Amino acid sequence: MSQSREELERALLAQPFNAQLRAQYAHLLLTNDELAAALQQFELLVQQAPADSAARIGMALALLGLGRDADALQCYGKARDLPGFVANDVLESHAAKVQRVQPTRLSVVQGGRADNVVPITAANPDRIRFEDIAGLDDLKRTVRLQIIEPFLRPGLFAKFKKRAGGGVLLYGPPGCGKTMIARAVATECRAEFISVGIADVLNMYIGESERNLAAMFDKARHSRPCVLFFDEIDALAFARSKAQSEHTRQVVNEFLSQLDGFSTDNKDVLILSATNMPWDVDSAMKRPGRFSRQVFVPPPDEAARAHIVELKLRGVPHEGIDGAAIAKITPHFSGADIEGLVELAKDYVLEDHVARNVERAILQADLLRAARSMHASTVDWLRTARNLVKYAGADDSYGEVDAYLKANKLV
Amino acid sequence: MAENELLQPSLDSDKGAATSIYSTTTGYMAAFFGGPLGGAVIALLNSHRLRRLAVDWPLGVVALAITTGTLWWEVRSGGTRWLVENLGPSGPRVAVRIMGLAMFGIVYLAHGKYYRNMSLFGLKPPSGWVPGIAAIVGGTLAMMGIAMLLAP
Amino acid sequence: MNESSGSKPDLASVLHEAHALVERRRYAQARSVVARGLSHFPDDSELQYLGAFVDYAEDRHAQAMQSIRRVLAQNPQHYGARMLCAHLHDEAQEFPQAEQLWIELLREYPEDPDCYAAYAELMLKTLNLDKAERLAREGLRHAPEHHGCLFVATMIDLIRGGGSRQRRSENLERLLREHPEHVRSSIALAVALNERGEHGNALRVAQELVRNQPDSEHLVTFARELKLRNHWSMLPLYPMLRWGWGGAAFVTLGGIFALRAARGVLPESVVVMLGFVWLAYVIYSWTWPAILRKLL
């Protein structure tokens, strides 16, 4: 029978060498996130019963929670050798992860002297920061205030009675950086990034899709702190009113129940999602406690487009490029469109190389020619969004889109 | 069996299926300006497109009866004088409009469901300019002819 | 759903993946899955049919028709392909050919409510009201709650207009009760409300439809028309909006007689002014709706 904290403390005062009581107390502290206090209790337990593997596992969990990963794994390693050892999922997955991503330690040797060896840790190529994303300053500010800071400083927001929790839905035209922003959020939050796509979930066998989805949430729970990102969420949580098969509805039901379960135990897990078609996402997904916060990710503005042009030309022979001029003639172009524009310009140059044996760099004229032969891929999406704003009635859910369309004189 | 009758083709691939009739605007204008006979022309063209001329031919008779009756009253029974006294110099013209609208009302009773069908399914009517103008001109000339025939 | 590179995928899982993507309107991804499947199973008619369906969904009707003909050449009994072929003929306004296919399908599947519903809709599109009603009734006899047949029956009730309000509402009520989330139920409700003169409520339903499917041209047009009807500047045209041409006739004759009556009572200058106001109203009634439609 579980006892309250006060009862356990009173009992331990009376029976300080009762290992069972101390173990209960230590686990209670661990559950309440009082990690330092829990660690103290587990250390006492290990002193009292050095052959108790469960105590060492508890200690390892407390160490892991305190960010002392190496100590945690060392402790867990010792627990493995003890009789009665039962594997702990969290520690197992952490151990496996550490084994997988152990970077190669490189060394710079200066002057042939061993005492000058400077180890270099390989950089994680997936870590995108906000500064890697061109422009979108307003959006970044919104994301920082609405997503990152509440995650990093929940106490501060709770003090001002700002509701935290729930997921965030990023929506907007394709190729405008929603996934990049999600990754950047994970970096800024100093959290693991778990990306889930439709291929990771959907399975032809009955019940398997739901199990795969549940497994993703479990993985997130065991990888705290982490950002759990659902890409193309309209495919996973397709509106049940539009779904034709029972299977599709069941996947959505499972998704909803996982989100509801998560809302009571979401510390250190941020749930993000992205979609090009927010109108295809089941409306229940946008209710409080689920993806109640929706952030519009617009096409890059002129400054951002100019920056993307320069970014995409890095390391590529070019001369006399005026990114601002290109940005001016490519309104509503997405980041992917700009990338496509640069690729097309490269094709023109390579054509010259091959056909006329002319070796040259990419010029402004190539980019201009490419820009004139392309159309913004966001236009269809913006046209659909305009229908929403004009004919779907007064509704705050697409207020940001409305503001963007008005600012760009599209409505 | 009901199914056998249902599973007979209704859309003749040789003659082509008429999927729309002239709009209510065309019918209204033809009746308003061309009188009952103008309205009847459009109505019977639509009946032909709907392949129900055999059912709707009495509309022509009704239009002729209304026109002849009204003109008889005007020309032979002092109706013209009455109209001028009560509705002013344009009284006879007003009478044509009223009769025309009455005829349109009768046509709408017969074909209203087809107009609503087209409206609800967004079916586009064919251009009514040529038949409309022809109906107005034809209806007006026919009325003048009947009036001349009835003149004492 | 992921396959290891180089190994032959399982056909069932490819089909499942393609169907799942098509259902979720992820046509570009469905196309690539189908293409991948066809590279391993080039003769599979189900995959070819899915490819044609994706073309149809993306409005590439000519390519869809080509693909469907290939499927039917290989597998003339393929149910889905025949249905899709009928729909393609319908889209191309080749109604007699579409009708022929529906008849053939119904001869083979005489209890199929989907075919009855589709055939009935074709009859409505070609103004064969009586036959449409009989087809819908027959479909409902086999499947009393079939949404397609109920939808057609509801539309026929609205078209016929007359008859008791009770009869008009029965099919609509069944449709809303059995299929409350189906988009066609909402469309039928919006149309019924509009026909009853409840333009404001009809607009609200249409707005909800657009919120769910803002990329549907048909729904956007419908909502725009209702928005036009509900616009404050259309208020003087209420008789025409509510009673159609009956209202127009009433207003026309009313105006004529009112002016005649005024002539005997009011000074000539006032009557002339009223005449101009009347003329302005007539011009406004003819021109303003078209202008407002462009502005909206």
State which residues of chain C have pLDDT below 70.
1-7, 162-168
Three-state secondary structure call for residue A238 = strand
Please indicate, yes or no, if residue A42 is contained in any of the structural domains: yes
B81: its two tokens? 């004088």
Of A203, A235, A388, Cβ closest to residue C214: A388
Listed by start position, the domains of chain B span 21-150
CA dist C120 and C124 (Å) reads 6
Q: Per-residue pLDDT tens for B82-97?
A: 888 887 788 888 888 8
Rounded Cα distance, A241 and B125, in Å: 34
* CA–CA distance, C23 with C44 (Å, rounded to integer): 20
Q: Is residue A53 part of a domain?
A: yes
Mean pLDDT over A33-41 rounds to 87
- Tokens encoding A133: 């994303």
Lowest model confidence (mean pLDDT) among A133-137, A379-383, C261-265 = A133-137
Closest to A281 (Cα-Cα) out of C27, C53, C213: C213
- Asked whether residue A225 is assigned to any structural domain, the reply reads yes
pLDDT (tens digit per residue) in C151-170 = 999 999 999 875 455 556 78
Q: Which amino acid is at B135?
A: A
User: Which chain C positions have a beta carbon within 8 Å of B113's beta carbon?
Assistant: 129, 159-161
Verify that A59 and A144 share a domain, yes or no: no
Nearest chain C alpha carbon to B14? C96
Residue C1: what pLDDT? 46
**Average pLDDT value for chain B:** 89
Q: Which residues contact C141 (CB under 8 A, 6 or more apart)?
A: none
In whole angstroms, give the CA distance from residue A405 to residue A383.
Answer: 10
3-state percent helix, strand, coil for chain A, nearest multiple of 5? 55, 10, 35
In a domain, A40, yes or no: yes
Asked if the model's pLDDT at residue A411 lies above 50, the reply is yes
3-state per-residue secondary structure call for A1-18: CCCCHHHHHHHHHHCCCC
Residues A67 and A215 in one domain: no
Residue type, A185: V
Structural domain count of chain A? 3
The mean-pLDDT minimum among A1-5, A89-93, B25-29 falls in A1-5
Q: Average of pLDDT values for A256-273?
A: 82
Burial C243-252 (b: 16+ CB within 10 A, else e): ebbbebbebb
Residues A18 and A83 in one domain: yes
In a domain, A330, yes or no: yes
Same domain, A197 and A69: no
Closest to A383 measured CA to CA, from C230, C21, C73, C220? C220
ipTM exceeds 0.90: no
The reported pLDDT for the residue numbered C233 is 95
From chain C, pick out residues whose CB is under 8 angstroms from the CB of A395.
211
Q: Which of these ranges, A72-76, B144-148, C77-81, C137-141, has the smallest mean pLDDT?
A: A72-76
The per-residue pLDDT for A109 is 42
With beta carbons under 8 A apart, name residues in chain A contacting C220: 387, 391
Are A179 and A270 members of one domain?
Answer: yes
What are the backbone dihedrals phi and psi of residue C200, each rounded to the nearest 5 degrees, phi first?
-60, -45
- Residues ≥6 apart with Cβ < 8 Å to C271: C259, C262, C263
Q: Which residues pair with A105 in a beta bridge?
A: A121
**Cβ contact (<8 Å) for B104 and C245?**
yes
Separation CA A188–CA A181 (nearest Å): 10
Among candidate residues A247, A278, A296, the one where a domain is terminated: A296
Residue A405, number of CB atoms within 10 A of its CB: 19
And the tokens for A268? 């250190």
For residues C95 and C102, give the distance between their C-alpha atoms in angstroms, rounded to a whole number. 10
Do C227 and A391 count as a contact with CB atoms less than 8 A apart? yes
Q: Which long-range contacts (C-beta less than 8 Å, at least 24 apart) are formed by A84-92?
A: A84/A53, A84/A54, A85/A53, A86/A53, A86/A54, A86/A57, A88/A57, A88/A60, A88/A61, A89/A222, A90/A61, A90/A64, A90/A222, A91/A57, A91/A60, A91/A61, A91/A64
Task: Identify the CATH number of the domain in which residue A311 sits.
Answer: 1.10.8.60
C90 Cα distance to chain centroid = 13
* Interface contacts A/C by beta carbons within 8 Å: 80
Q: Does residue A290 sit in the same domain as residue A306?
A: no
**Which tens digit of pLDDT belongs to each residue from B123-138?**
889 999 999 999 999 9
Q: What is the pLDDT of residues A179-231, one digit of tens each?
A: 999 988 888 888 888 999 888 888 777 788 889 888 888 888 888 888 899 99
- Whether residues A306 and A290 fall in one domain: no
Residue A399 has pLDDT above 90, yes or no: no
Q: Which of C22, C24, C27, C230 to mutate to test the interface with A (most CBs of A within 10 A)?
A: C24
Phi/psi for B89 (5° steps) reads: -60, -25
pLDDT number for residue B13: 63
Mean pLDDT for chain A overall: 84
In what helix (H) or strand (E) does residue A275 lie, and over which residues does it extend? Answer: strand A269-275
Question: What does the alpha-carbon distance between residue A392 and residue A380 come to, in Å, rounded to a whole number?
Answer: 17
Assigned domain for A391 exists = no
CATH of the domain at A42: 1.25.40.10
Are A260 and A192 part of one and the same domain?
yes
| Same domain, yes or no: A253 and A234 | yes
Q: Is C220 in Cβ contact with A199 (below 8 Å)?
A: no
Question: What count of residues does chain C have?
Answer: 296
pTM of the predicted model, to two decimals? 0.76
Does a structural domain hold residue A407? no
pLDDT of residue A117: 42
Six-digit token string for C245 = 């041409």
Which structural domain range is residue A336 located in? 302-372
Largest CA distance in chain C: 95
Amino acid A264: pLDDT: 67
Residue B18: what pLDDT? 62
Is there a single domain that holds both residue A228 and residue A153?
A: yes
Give the residue, A203 or A322, on which the prediction is more confident.
A322
CB A106 within 8 A of CB A122: yes
Same domain, residue pair A227 and A327: no
Same domain, yes or no, for A20 and A85? yes
Diameter of chain A by CA atoms?
94
A113 belongs to a structural domain:
no
Contacts of A49 (CB under 8 A, 6+ apart): A19, A55
Query: Residue B79 — pLDDT band, cuts 50, 70, 90?
Result: confident
User: How many percent of chain A have pLDDT more than 70?
Assistant: 89
What is the predicted pLDDT for the residue at A121?
A: 35
- Residue numbers in C near A234 (CB within 8 A): 24
